Amino acid sequence: MKEILAQLGIKDHNNGTSTGNEWLPSNGGVLESFSPVNGQPIATVQTTDAAAYAQVVATAQQAFLQWRTIPAPKRGEIVRQMGDALRTHKTALGKLVSYEMGKSLQEGYGEVQEMIDICDFAVGLSRQLYGLTMHSERPLHRMYEQWHPLGVVGIISAFNFPVAVWSWNSALAWVCGNVCIWKPSEKTPLCAIAVQNIISEVFKNNHVPEGVCCLVQGGRELGEQLAADERVALVSATGSTRMGKAVAQSVAARLGRSLLELGGNNAIIISEHADLGIALPGCVFGAVGTAGQRCTTTRRLIIHESVYEAFKAKLVKAYGQLRIGDPLNEHNHVGPLIDKDAVQNYLTAIDQCKQQGGRFAVEGGVLEGAGYESGCYVKPCIAEVDSQLPVVQHETFAPILYLLKYKTIDEAINLQNSVPQGLSSSIMTLNLREAEQFLSYAGSDCGIANVNIGTSGAEIGGAFGGEKETGGGRESGSEAWKAYMRRQTNTINYSTQLPLAQGIKFDL
C-alpha cells in the first residue's frame, strides 16, 4: 500500500486544505485515517482552520468571475482531460478507495470508473446546456430562457462513496460554469487528497484560475459552516437523513439552495411471476455489496407467499457461500464495515429486531480471529419479520436483510411505500401488468424504480435521487445539471413600439 500512496501523492502527514493548485497551511486539528481492513493507521491530515477556510472561499469567489467567462465547451475539454487523468490512475485510486473505505477491490475500481463515466457525460453536456424559445403575446417580441451558473457550489460527501458522488456533482457543476468546494467525510480524507492531486495537475496544465476546485477537511462543524455560508450558492450534501435535515434548515434560513441525497430503505418485491434465477443475484448483491453500506442497499425483500419458502432457501444457501475478508483480495465478496461505531449500530439493530419478534434465517455477528483483527468484519444476516417492525422503518447501514410476505400486488406496493425513505425500489416479475403498475403513479413512491434488476447499480445517465426522507435531490444524468444553474427568462422587443402588458396604456 505504501507504493500506492506514493503514486497518489499521499504522505505520512498531509495538508488537507487546497485551492486547487496550492495546498494551504492550517492550524486545524489532526485527523488520522485508519483502514477498516486491518485497523492500522494509514496517514494523518491537517484539518481546515478558520483562516484557511476564509482563504478558500475568497479564492473560489474570485475564480468564479473568470471561470464563468470560459465557454462551456472549453470547460468541457478540461473535464475531458480529467477523465483521462483518472483513467491513468484508476488502479491506484481504486485500491486506495478499497483500503481506506473497506469496499471490495472490484467496487473500488468501479467507483473510479463512475468518475470517468461522469466526466465523459459532462463533456457532452457542455455542448447541450439548452434553453427554450417561446412565442410572445406581444407583436415583434421574442422570448427565450437561458441558464447561468450559480457561483460557489459546496459538496459534502459521505464515506461509502468517497470519490464517485463528489465527481457526480463537481463534473456537472464545472461544465455549468461553477466553482466547487469539497468537504469529504472525515472517515475517508485520503481519497479526497489523492483526487485533488490528480485533478490539480489538469487544472495547472490548462492555466485554470486558482480556486475552481477547492478542498477543505474536517468534521461536522466544518459542514455546518459550509451550509451556513451565504457565499455558497448551492450545498449538495450526501449522508444520513439526520445530517440532511440540519443542512436543509441551515441553507433554507439564508434562502440558499440545497441538493440532498440522504437515507434509503430500499425494497425488492419478489413476485409469484418472478424469474427466481435472475432475482437471486440481484437480491444478494443488493443486500451485501459494500457490506450493506450503500444508500441503495437492499434492506427489505417483499416476497409472494407462494414462493416465499423456496426463495428463502435459495437466499440462505447463497449466504452460506459468501466469502468475507480483506477487500483487496478479489476472491472475497464482503469487506468490513467502516468502523467500530458502524459495528455497534449493526449489533443494536439485530438486538432490536429480536426483541420485536424477528426470527433470523441467517444469524449475524462479529467475526474474530486471523484476518479480522480490525473488529469491523460482520456476518451478513437475514431476518424474517411478520409485519413492519419499528426497526424495519429505520435505515441501518449494515448487511441486515428483512424478509416480509405478501398476498396481492397492492399489498406488496403498500409495504414497499410504508417506510419514511424513498430512494430505490425494484420488482422481480415477468407479469407485464405488475411491472406497469409498479412503475405507475399508483406504484413505487421512490425516485428510482426498477424491473428485473436490483436496487443497486444506478447508471450515471439517469438522474439519481429519491423522495420523502431521501431529500428530493437529483444528481448525475438526465436534466440533473439544472440544479447547478439559475434560470433566466428573456424578452426582446425589436419593434418601434412599447406595448404594455394586459393592454395598459399611458398617454405620454
Q: What is the pLDDT of residue 90?
A: 98
CA distance 157 to 111: 14
Q: What is the mean pLDDT of residues 221-226?
A: 97
Query: To which CATH superfamily is domain 266-459 assigned?
Result: Aldehyde Dehydrogenase; Chain A, domain 2 (3.40.309.10)
For residue 186, pLDDT beyond 80: yes
CA distance 317 to 502: 72
CA distance 248 to 239: 12
| CATH topology match: 2-262+471-488 vs 266-459 | no
Q: What is the mean pLDDT of residues 102-106?
A: 96
Distances (CA, A) of 315 to 195, 271, 274, 321, 329: 38, 15, 15, 10, 24
Domain regions of the chain by residue span: 2-262+471-488, 266-459
For residue 106, pLDDT beyond 80: yes
For residue 502, pLDDT beyond 90: no
Q: What is the mean pLDDT of residues 373-395?
A: 94
Percent of the chain with pLDDT strictly greater than 70? 100
Query: To which CATH superfamily is domain 2-262+471-488 assigned?
Result: Aldehyde Dehydrogenase; Chain A, domain 1 (3.40.605.10)
Q: What is the pLDDT of residue 499?
A: 82
Active-site annotation holds for 3: no
User: Annotated catalytic residue: which of 114, 186, 261, 395?
Assistant: 261
Q: What is the pLDDT of residue 434?
A: 98
Q: What is the pLDDT of residue 507?
A: 72
CA distance 216 to 354: 42
Q: What is the mean pLDDT of residues 222-251?
A: 97
Q: What is the pLDDT of residue 457?
A: 84
Q: How confident is the model at residue 494 (pLDDT cuts 50, 70, 90)?
A: very high
Q: How confident is the model at residue 503 (pLDDT cuts 50, 70, 90)?
A: confident
For residue 179, pLDDT beyond 80: yes
Q: What is the pLDDT of residue 500?
A: 78
Q: How confident is the model at residue 401 (pLDDT cuts 50, 70, 90)?
A: very high
Q: What mean pLDDT, rounded, does the chain reach?
A: 97
For residue 436, pLDDT beyond 80: yes
305: DSSP letter? T
| Burial profile 365-375: b = 16 or more Cβ within 10 angstroms, e = fewer | ebbeeeebebb
Q: Which amino acid makes up residue 287?
A: A
CA distance 487 to 30: 42
Among 55-64, 384-393, 428-437, which stretch is predicted with the lowest mean pLDDT?
A: 384-393
Q: What is the pLDDT of residue 243?
A: 96
Q: What is the mean pLDDT of residues 227-254?
A: 97
